[in-house]
Chain A
Amino acid sequence: MNIHEYQAKQIFAKYGVPTPRGIIANTPDQAVANAGELGGNIWVVKAQIHAGGRGLGGGVKLAKNKEEVRELATEILGMTLVTHQTGPEGKLVQKVYIEEGADIKDELYLSVVLDRAAEMPIIMASTEGGMDIETVAEKTPEKIIKIAVDPAYGFQGFHGRELVFGLGITDKAEQKKMIDFASKLYTLYMENDAEMIEINPLIKTGSGDFIALDGKMGFDDSALGRHPDIEDMRDISEEDPDEREASQYGLSYVALDGEIGCMVNGAGLAMGTMDTINYMGGTPANFLDVGGSANAETVAKGFEIILKNPNVKAIFVNIFGGIVRCDRIANGILEATKLVDVNVPVIVRLDGTNAPEAAEILKNANIDNVIAATDLGDGAAKAVAAAKGE
């Protein structure tokens, strides 16, 4: 689960990681009031969406008076912000964060993320803050410092020294502040079961203070159960409504732009089914993993969600039953044809646990647009042909 910048900064503040003062706003009036409450004579108006690249997309702007705060908040609220992380459809901005202006001397980059290879969290830092860090990593990888921290021992003095000397920080007081910053960030990463924290830019002010000017945080979904405070930060409006509805039924669904609806058990086989459809000259309309506890109700729901997509011209049900029993899926298909108007051909391949029973169920039901397939290749070929109207 991801959270907004302003929420990440609330967590930072709780752990003593310095952030600029800011207040969230839902309307231009609130934005102006927030600027007044913060005081000063310069403010930053920042779109709050779950994606990076907001600045380049026009979602972060500087206001030099309250009238500009109003103008910018009016412009940004309600805009559909497209960045390289939102996909071409972009994301609707529903909140703006009004933040006090900062005295920026240097821009750095700092993140904490799990290094799968080292099997421990890694702190990454760079002097090239404020830029697209992926470009930095690609073109000048030597400018990124990576420091793995073993949770068995935690953040030690040497981690801090590697960090500050790596960043070229020579002033003693500044070194101390940066080490303190990184140490607190590591602690909050661990204590909150974060998946990643990224601060870009982390600024050094004219007076030598380090401040998190931005903040992105993602969390391990499997650990949210022990962090109700973080679960409360969930912003449902940032999630796709169909994906969310699907997840309530134990289905994992992602919409795509093709013509063949897919219903598969297991993420790997679901991706493999999409790959096979592509290979055979068709296009998948979605990724849908029915999970290990599929039953008649969830299968019917899956059909309903797939058929909401008007581009779907055929549905390929591809199940290799291990835990999932094929007879339950077959009953789900029958159930679905009663509940939902299944008006496209449905190609069904059921293999594994209770496959013969399932075949019998479908055969006896004798539904018009259900076509049986013998294996994955056969099913994909029939689905591609059906989608083309052949």
Chain B
Amino acid sequence: MSILVNKDTKVIVQGFTGAEGTFHAEQCLAYGTQIVGGVTPGKGGQTHLDKPVFNTVKEAVAATGATVSMVFVPPAFVADAVMEAASAGIELAVIITEGAPVRDMQAAKACAVKNGMMTIGPNCPGVITADECKIGIMPGMIFKKGNVGLISKSGTLTYEGTNQVCNEGYGISTAVGIGGDPIIGLSYIQLLKMFQEDPETEAIVMIGEIGGDLEIQAAAYIKENITKPVVAFIAGQSAPPGKRMGHAGAIISGAAGTAKEKMDALSAAGVEVVVSPAEIGKAVTKVLG
């Protein structure tokens, strides 16, 4: 077991033949991910990385039975690609692209929700189930199989956290980089729920950042629903208060944006909160040892 993806997951790549799509699809294939084809409009019928290329997601799904799409299209085309995947019956779109306009993502997310499609990202490293399936851009070699689930807003802190967990002799069940954009797909609460229900996962590492209030919501959820031990780190304790232009954003996020408030809320929910990311591995040992 694991969450979201495993060795049987069939994946297509949107933006398959582009430079980024090609490089990372190759890496994913080498990791063992079942990439069954890709979509590049106008290149349907060709073969790329020994896999079929389709003009539309609908064709790709019909021919391959893919349920997950890894999205590498340029920022201006992300919303279109996500909506296409949602309307073609894809169950999960993993959006790697950075720099998609917020208004576009708002519409794309609404469309995905309406069609029952889950999304991860945008602007994220993706999702990986160790030794089974990597959908994204993370360095696969650091993920050793194990019983720790990891959820992170930050890509490089996903790697840092994973590396420490593995150096302590533990391993990763599934790691999900959720991204830190204003509009994101799957967030802490949905993923905490999945890890709680996953028999393979024994502990959860949650890595957050300053801004927004997702971590505060997660703390409330953990308190009520999560019985597995959780280790958390919030990046940005030493970030200076940003120079802001207006007040509207601050009111919307309330007072819940600072690292300290997030750390306090998580501690109060029984989470093992570390003040430095260098302590993540030891904290996992502490809660599992």
Contact = CB atoms under 8 A, between A and B. Distances in A.
Interface stretch (A119-127, A164-172, A178-186, A339-347): A119-127
B49 interface: no
Contact of A151 (B98, B106, B142): B106
A337 interface: no
B246 A279 contact: no
Nearest to A279: B276
Given A52-B246, A115-B252, A276-B276, A193 B235 contact: no
A377 B276 contact: yes
Contacts of B238: 271, 274-275, 277-278, 284
B255 to A, nearest CB: 8
A222 B100 contact: yes
B175 to A, nearest CB: 12
Given A119-B109, A152-B110, A265-B156, A87 B248 contact: no
Given A133-B251, A222-B99, A85 B275 contact: no
A52 B235 contact: no
Nearest to A354: B139
A196 B249 CA distance: 8
B209 interface: yes
A220 interface: yes
Given A122-B252, A266-B154, A116 B182 contact: yes
Contacts of B255: 138
Contacts of B154: 266-269, 272
Nearest to A223: B101
B156 A320 contact: yes
Given A222-B101, A278-B238, A321-B139, A272 B233 contact: yes
B41 to A, nearest CB: 20
Q: Which of the listed residues B75, B248, B275, B277 has the most CB atoms from chain A within 10 Å of its own CB?
A: B248
A111 B246 contact: yes
A320 B163 contact: yes
Given A52-B246, A113-B252, A271 B210 contact: yes
A220 B207 CA distance: 25
Contacts of A279: 275-276, 278
Nearest to A319: B156
Given A268-B154, A268-B180, A322-B125, A220 B142 contact: no
Contacts of A256: 240
B159 interface: yes
B202 to A, nearest CB: 24
A150 B114 CA distance: 14
Contact of B137 (A112, A320, A323): A323
A76 B269 CA distance: 51
Contacts of A376: 160, 277-278
Interface residues of A, number: 73
B248 A322 contact: no
Given A272-B235, A274-B238, A320-B156, A193 B245 contact: no
Given A119-B109, A275-B276, A352-B142, A322 B247 contact: no
B12 to A, nearest CB: 21
A223 B78 CA distance: 12
A226 B99 CA distance: 13
Contacts of B240: 87, 254, 256
Interface in B122-156: 125, 137-139, 142, 152-156
Nearest to B254: A137
Interface residues of B, number: 64
Contacts of A128: none
Nearest to A122: B252
B239 interface: yes
Contacts of B277: 269, 272-273, 275-276, 376
Nearest to A353: B139
B246 A275 contact: no
B168 to A, nearest CB: 12
A351 interface: yes
B101 A124 contact: no
A171 to B, nearest CB: 27
A51 B252 contact: no
B216 to A, nearest CB: 11
A134 B233 CA distance: 28
Given A222-B102, A272-B160, A113 B138 contact: no
Contacts of B285: none
A2 B245 CA distance: 7
A195 B245 CA distance: 11
A322 B138 contact: yes
Chain B CB within 10 Å, residue with most, of A272, A277, A321: A272
Interface of B: 75-76, 98-104, 106-107, 109-110, 125, 137-139, 142, 152-157, 159-160, 163-164, 167, 180, 182-183, 207, 209-210, 212-213, 217, 233, 235-240, 243-255, 259, 275-279
26 contacts: A52-B244, A52-B246, A116-B213, A116-B253, A117-B217, A124-B248, A134-B250, A198-B248, A200-B247, A218-B245, A218-B246, A222-B99, A222-B100, A223-B103, A264-B156, A266-B155, A269-B157, A269-B235, A271-B210, A272-B160, A274-B239, A275-B277, A277-B238, A279-B276, A321-B139, A376-B277
Interface of A: 2, 50-52, 85-87, 111-117, 119-120, 122, 124, 132-134, 137-138, 144, 150-152, 190, 193, 195-198, 200, 216, 218, 220, 222-223, 225-226, 254, 256, 264-269, 271-280, 284, 287, 292, 320-323, 351-353, 375-377, 380
Given A193-B102, A196-B245, 12 more contacts: A52-B246, A85-B244, A86-B243, A134-B250, A138-B255, A223-B103, A266-B157, A268-B153, A268-B180, A272-B157, A277-B238, A322-B155
